[in-house]
Amino acid sequence: MRFRLTVEYDGRPFQGWQRQAHGPSVQQGIEDAIHSICGEAVEVIAAGRTDAGVHGSAMPAHVDIERPFTPFRLMEAINARLKPLPVAILDCAEAPDWHARFDCTQRRYIYRIINRRAPLALAAGLAWRVPAALDADAMHAAAQRLVGRHDFTTFRSAQCQANSPLRTLDRLDVMRVGDEVHVHAAARSFLHHQVRSMVGCLKLVGQGRWRAEDLADALAARDRSALGINAPPDGLCFVGASYPDLSVGFTMSNRGNEAP
């Protein structure tokens, strides 16, 4: 049976979603929990593969298990065995002929900046504190220079393994919520570090150190050395995905407007 899982996790203790030889991962934690339940060596496939320190509030994933389970019983069993890892299965359903990664038509992230001088007592590791005042409106206007289909080489990690730097960015919105600035990004797929690199440059715009034209020039350069700064992973959260057939897919359209 194939099951669709909706996963929430705090990325701080992990080397990322994907199983790694040099440290713990979210994928490994879930796979080990399922193995302890049914004795099967399974592979949990997710819609996205977040980096070390990046969080997930609604990551769709699937797993194939030979032993019969009801979705609720499987979810409860996995959650019981995930403790004390900061990972939770929020939902579980049967999903025949559905692939969490290859059927996904859009992935959505939110980057959370806390714009204040005081240190973070409750949100440390869950947001990026920027003490200098940020102009969210200027950031949003500049961000629109990146929307659409472009060569995002400048905003691509040197370790990125994608075959092409071409990506279509569906949305890049910046909005202020009290003393926070949220950056919403949506695309079918992203390059390694693309969101963090875009946020880092938008922060320079918000501080008045870059103009919208500087951001456009960095994009046009198609050169990683033209990047301003790379934002830390702390504030980045995978918040949702969309699928063409909602009867077997998963969407978090409403969550796309929430902070992680």
Read off the pLDDT of each residue in 239-256 and give the average, rounded to a whole number.
59
Residue corresponding to tokens 């046009």 = 220
Residues in Cβ contact with 178 at an 8 Å cutoff, skipping those fewer than 6 apart: none
Residue 248: pLDDT above 60? no
Q: What is the 3-state secondary structure (H, E, C) of the chain?
A: CEEEEEEEECCCCCCECCCCCCCCCHHHHHHHHHHHHHCCCCCCEECCCCECCCEEEEEEEEEECCCCCCHHHHHHHHHHHHCCCCEEEEEEEECCCCCCCCCCCEEEEEEEEECCCCCCCCCECCEEECCCCCCHHHHHHHHCCCCEEEECHHHCCCCCCCCCCEEEEEEEEEEEECCEEEEEEEECCCCCCHHHHHHHHHHHHHCCCCCHHHHHHHHHHCCHHHCCCCCCHHHEEEEEEECCCCCCCCCCCHHHHCCC
Residue 252: pLDDT above 80? no
Of the candidate ranges 73-87, 118-132, 235-249, the one whose mean pLDDT is the lowest:
235-249
Q: pLDDT band for 255, please (50, 70, 90 cuts).
A: very low
pLDDT tens readout for residues 10-37 = 999 999 999 988 899 999 999 999 999 9
Residue 165: pLDDT above 60? yes
pLDDT at 192: 93
pLDDT at 75: 98
pLDDT at 114: 98
pLDDT at 173: 98
pLDDT at 253: 35
- How far apart are alpha carbons 46 and 104 in whole angstroms? 10
Q: pLDDT band for 227, please (50, 70, 90 cuts).
A: very high
pLDDT tens readout for residues 126-146 = 999 999 999 999 999 999 999
- How far apart are alpha carbons 154 and 216 in whole angstroms? 11
Q: How big is the chain, counted in residues?
A: 260
- How far apart are alpha carbons 116 and 80 in whole angstroms? 38
Read off the pLDDT of each residue in 59-70 and give the average, rounded to a whole number.
96
Do you find a cis peptide bond into 84, omega within 30 degrees of 0? yes
**Which residues form the catalytic set?**
51
- How far apart are alpha carbons 135 and 250 in whole angstroms? 35
Residue 254: pLDDT above 90? no
pLDDT tens readout for residues 189-211 = 999 999 999 999 999 999 999 99
Residues in Cβ contact with 103 at an 8 Å cutoff, skipping those fewer than 6 apart: 243, 244, 245, 249
- How far apart are alpha carbons 113 and 130 in whole angstroms? 7
Q: pLDDT band for 64, please (50, 70, 90 cuts).
A: very high
pLDDT at 246: 54
Q: Which phi and psi angles does 57 have, rounded to 5°? A: -100, -15
pLDDT, averaged across the chain: 93
- How far apart are alpha carbons 75 and 72 in whole angstroms? 5
Structural domains in the chain, CATH included, are: 2-103 (3.30.70.580), 106-239 (3.30.70.660)
Read off the pLDDT of each residue in 93-97 and give the average, rounded to a whole number.
93
For the chain, give the percent of residues with pLDDT over 90. 89
Q: Which phi and psi angles does 113 have, rounded to 5°? A: -110, 130
Q: What angle do CA 21, 34, 63 make, to 5 degrees?
A: 85
Give the predicted TM-score (pTM) of the model.
Answer: 0.91
Work out the number of other CB atoms within 10 angstroms of the CB of residue 184. Answer: 19
Read off the pLDDT of each residue in 55-79 and give the average, rounded to a whole number.
97
